[in-house]
Amino acid sequence: MVISTDFSVAIAGAGLSGLCLAQYLVRAGIDAHVYERDLGPFVRRQGYRLILDRYGLEALRESLPVPLYRLALATSDEPGGHLRFTDSRLRDAFTITFKQEQHTTRQVDRLTLRSILQSGLDGRVHYGKAAVGVDSGGPGRLRLRFSDGGAATVSVVVGADGVRSALRAQLMPDANPVNTPMAGIYGRSPLRQNGRSIIPEALRTSGVLAIANEPGRAFFFTSMRFGESPREAFARLAPGVFPPTGDDYVMWGLLLRQAEVPMNVRGDLPGLREMATQMTADFHPLVRRLVGTAELDTVVLNLFAAGQRPRRWAVPRATMMGDAVHAMPPFGAHGGNTALRDAALLGRRLVDALTDGTPLEAAIAGYQDEMVSYAFDAVDDAARLMRRLTGNAAAPHWVLTRVLPRLHRVTVPEA
Ligand SMILES: Cc1cc2nc3c(=O)[nH]c(=O)nc-3n(C[C@H](O)[C@H](O)[C@H](O)COP(=O)(O)OP(=O)(O)OC[C@H]3O[C@@H](n4cnc5c(N)ncnc54)[C@H](O)[C@@H]3O)c2cc1C
């Protein structure tokens, strides 16, 4: 479909949702540009994997040209389907097995997905452009302003600038996210070390949440194996686009209380890794090895926040998507899926409006109503799961760490 019109869209933020929306719109023949604060696509490693559920996958299928969607699938893997809850010495308490039909969830490497989402958007993704505000650009036009004094004048502005959005205070003035007490120090470590997988066969298809003796602290890890080597899959399906990464890895996260992370360590990668080392000193040797072999530039601190339902959208023809609206703690793997779902939904509403003559304001309001409904269900789910897994309730914690592990065999001997 090619829509010939002077309609144009400016998207702030080249993350998952911003790039996905750009793909959707450009594929439909709409003039869309993405403005990203970072100086380049891979200045931050953001080295972790994402589990995409049926909403995330469907959004990608709808938005991407077929070869790029195939590329996302080819480089992804089955997520495994088991989440083991253990004590800090990796003694099983219990295991959840997800009843998923095959191919309804995939795990993808985030950097690889971002690279796929940028493919074909040549000249439409502008780096070093930090959005700072929106104002009127004349009849039916808005101006997205940047910190360097520049601006883009367009028909519609979309804020997809993530959890610390610069546009949120203006576009959704009553919906600043609230902080939670919890945080995560994340990292990634090579899966194969000295020619062998660091993860024992018994855990090959499992994510593991090892709960510490102190309430409010736990360690999560899971392996990311590429279905097909990104180098080969990119050469076959997106020649000329280079994959940013390729080696299988283990993604891990130490969950802890925000109050435990001193201010002077928050932006200091060696300091964060040292904290993770100290706080996992009593954990199973496998956990200590994962932290000890983490690639330093992938270590990141995430302070968990939860979005609040917006009640007022202050600038007609400007809207928002993804974490900028509905930040959520990373429990339940909803954040990225919901962000991708927003992008496909907004894309569909805009394209439909241009084809059937629905006023743009009505199309955008329809998107906002539908998005707020499913997205804040996901925020509530994620916040509930976080409270359940990291809460202070003494009895469940005692059962998880002291009673159940004694009833099960040791899955990973401490050799
Ligand atoms: C450790 C971890 C694991 C996760 N695992 C999963 C998972 O398994 N499944 C899942 O669905 N979700 C997961 N998530 C959540 C997911 O990563 C986010 O929800 C998702 O990235 C949100 O996408 P987004 O497009 O809203 O924002 P982002 O992807 O964060 O992109 C925002 C972009 O905006 C840019 N930006 C910021 N400010 C400005 C500005 N002023 N102007 C221009 N650009 C700006 C940023 O640099 C960034 O590129 C996880 C999150 C974490 C931390």
Closest approach atom of ligand 1 to CA 50: 8
* Lowest-confidence pick of 41-45, 177-181, 329-333: 41-45
In sequence order, the 6+-apart residues with CB closer than 8 A to the CB of 256 are: 182, 183, 184, 185, 216, 217, 279
Q: Which amino acid is at 25?
A: L
Mutate to test the pocket of ligand 1, among 50, 146, 249, 298 (most ligand atoms within 8 A of CB): 50
pLDDT exceeds 60 at position 2 = no
- Dump pLDDT digits (tens) for 314-337: 999 999 999 999 999 998 889 999
C-beta separation of 326 from 165 below 8 A: no
Residue 166 has pLDDT above 70, yes or no: yes
How many CA atoms lie within 13 Å of 354's alpha carbon, on the beta-carbon side?
21
Residue 258: phi and psi, rounded to 5, are -55, -35
- Written as six digits, the tokens of 79 are 């997520």
What mean pLDDT, rounded, does the chain reach? 91
CA–CA dist 100, 109 (Å, integer): 20
* 375 Cα–ligand 1 center, Å: 15
Contact between residue 192 and residue 204 where contact means Cβ atoms under 8 Å apart? no
17 CA to centre of ligand 1 in angstroms: 8
**In the prediction, which pLDDT does 259 show?**
95
* Pair type for strands 31-35 and 8-12: parallel
Give the residue, by CA position, lying nearest to ligand 1 atom 15.
Answer: 335
Torsion region of 103: left, alpha or beta (phi above 0 gives left; psi -120 to 50 gives alpha): left
Concatenated DSSP letters of 70-96: HHHHHT-B---SEEEEEETT-BEEEEE
**pLDDT number for residue 415:** 65
The percent of residues above 90 in pLDDT, for the chain, comes to 73
Q: What 3-state DSSP class applies to 104?
A: coil
Q: Which atom of ligand 1 is nearest to the CA of 20?
A: 25
**Amino acid identity of 88?**
S
**Mean per-residue pLDDT for 47-62?**
92
Residue nearest to atom 37 of ligand 1 (CA): 161
Measured CA to CA, the distance from residue 239 to residue 261 in angstroms comes to: 44
Among the residue ranges 19-33, 115-129, 147-161, 254-268, the one predicted with the least confidence is: 254-268
Which stretch of 83-92, 156-165, 298-307 has the lowest confidence by average pLDDT?
A: 83-92
Q: What is the pLDDT of residues 213-240, one digit of tens each?
A: 888 899 999 999 999 999 999 999 999 8
Q: Residue 394 pLDDT more than 70?
A: no
For 153-172, b where at least 16 C-beta lie within 10 A, e where not — what string? ebbbbbbbbbbebbbbebbb
Confidence (pLDDT) at 399: 63
CB proximity list for 55: less than 8 A, separation 6 or greater: 337, 338, 340, 341
Query: Domains in the chain and their CATH numbers?
Result: 8-407 (3.50.50.60)
**Ligand 1 atom nearest to 184, measured from its CA:** 1
Q: Work out which ligand 1 atom sits closest to the CA atom of 132.
A: 41
Q: Which residues contact 348 (CB under 8 A, 6 or more apart)?
A: 24, 62
Specify the pLDDT at position 126.
Answer: 98
396-410 residue pLDDT tens: 666 666 666 666 666
Residue 85's pLDDT band (cuts 50, 70, 90): confident
Q: How many secondary structure helices (H) and strands (E) does the chain include?
A: 12, 19
Query: Which 3 state secondary structure label does DSSP give 216?
Result: coil
What local confidence, expressed as pLDDT, does residue 118 receive?
96
CA atoms within 13 A on the CB side of 210: 24
How many angstroms is it from 132 CA to the middle of ligand 1? Answer: 18
**Alpha carbon of 118 to ligand 1 centroid (Å):** 15
Residue ranges lining ligand 1, Cβ < 6 Å: 12-18, 35-38, 48, 50-51, 56, 130-131, 160-162, 166, 186, 253, 302, 322-324, 330, 333-337, 339
**What pLDDT is stored for residue 388 in this prediction?**
80
Counted residue by residue, the chain has a size of 415
Ligand 1 centroid to Cα of residue 327, in Å, is 9
Give dist(CA 116, CA 73) in Å, integer. 11
- CA 335 / ligand 1 centre spacing (Å): 8
Q: Rounded distance, CA 277 to CA 127, Å?
A: 35
Query: How many A from CA of 89 to the centre of ligand 1?
Result: 32
| d(CA 307, ligand 1 centre) in Å | 14
Nearest CA owner, ligand 1 atom 17 = 336
Cα 44 from Cα 269, distance rounded (Å) = 12
Nearest CA, atom 30, ligand 1: 162
